[in-house]
Amino acid sequence: MNYLRVPRAITLADLRTKDASWSAGMYRRVEIPTSHTRSVRGLIAGYDKGTDPGSMYYLPKSTHHFIRTKALQSHSYLICPKGGAITPINPRVFEDMVLADGDILVSKDSNVGECAMLDGDGWRNHMLSGGVVRLRPSINRYYLFAFLKHELFKTQLLPLVPRGATIAHGKELWLDCRIPFPAQRDADDVIAFVAAVTEALVGKEKAIRARNDEIHARIEAELTGNQTGTFRYEHPMRNEIASLGRFDAAIYSYEYK
């Protein structure tokens, strides 16, 4: 459903705020088909900002880690750790945010409006980048999360944040995005149902990841447990490269071998 539309009519006040521009695209706005909405600002008790210590403090390995904006992806309800999304960092600049299972993270930089939920209790030595905030919901966190993951949330940011800008540059306009609520008699039941479905989706993704880890562990055990001899890695020789006819670095790596 397309929520971003050009209105059929505008007020004189609207025209003045746009410096008397008659470009229709300047007046695009999200039209939610219900008047029962509340701003994100009114649904949270507050939020915690991450910090940016600088790339000079990134390490190849460490006991402490740094969650970057790329860890929040539209295709996943949970944090995506691949591709350097979670970076080892020098413990000297670590700031303990006491991250915990069920925390909702929102990106206000780079991939603007993306969000994800933390899973499990393994976040003790993790902190957030300056482009990520952690919400403290004052309502059912799964109902709020359902609409933060919905296209409706990010669509509301499109007319507000200039292309290539960040939410920070837009004065944290994400706080003014609207979340719809049911208005019928059984509104509480509807909210509970939406929250339950979202929680089930999060649980399903957790189960998929756990099964994926199990499959990888079995493959690893199969490979390491059936070696014909003691493995010893050696850099490729010229004749090996010539025989394979490829110069891809990955096929000569330790992991591949």
What is the residue type of 29?
R
Q: What is the pLDDT of residues 190-206, one digit of tens each?
A: 999 999 999 999 999 99
Kindly state the DSSP code that residue 61 receives in the 8-state scheme: S
CA distance 140 to 221: 42
Q: Is 117 left (phi over 0), alpha (psi -120 to 50) or beta?
A: beta
Write down the pLDDT at residue 117: 97
Low-confidence ranges of the chain (pLDDT < 50): 164-170
The phi and psi torsions of 124 (rounded to 5 degrees) equal: -60, -45
48 close to 77: Cβ distance less than 8 angstroms: no
* Residue range(s) of every CATH 3.90.220.20 domain in the chain: 37-204
pLDDT score of 169? 47
Query: pLDDT tens digits, residue range 77-95?
Result: 999 998 889 999 999 999 9
In contact, 66 and 126? CB cutoff 8 Å: yes
SS3 assignment, position 253: coil
CATH number of 37-204: 3.90.220.20
Distance CA 103, CA 118 (A): 5
3-state secondary structure 80-123: CCCCCCEEEECHHHCCCCCCCCCCEEEECCCCCCCEEECCCCCC
- The pLDDT, as a whole number, for residue 167 is 47
Helix extents (H) in the chain: 12-17, 141-148, 151-157, 187-225, 238-244
Closest CA to 85 of 46, 114, 47: 114
Whether this model's pTM surpasses 0.75: yes
Convert the pLDDT of each residue in 3-14 to its tens digit.
Answer: 778 888 888 988
Residue with tokens 């999200």: 30
Q: What is the dihedral of CA 41, 42, 48, 54, to 10 degrees?
A: -10
Are residues 150 and 32 in contact, defined by beta-carbon separation less than 8 angstroms?
Answer: no
Report CA torsion sign: 225, 229, 232, 233: negative
Which residues partner with 135 through β-bridges?
Answer: 47, 104
- State the CB neighbour count (10 A cutoff) for residue 20: 8
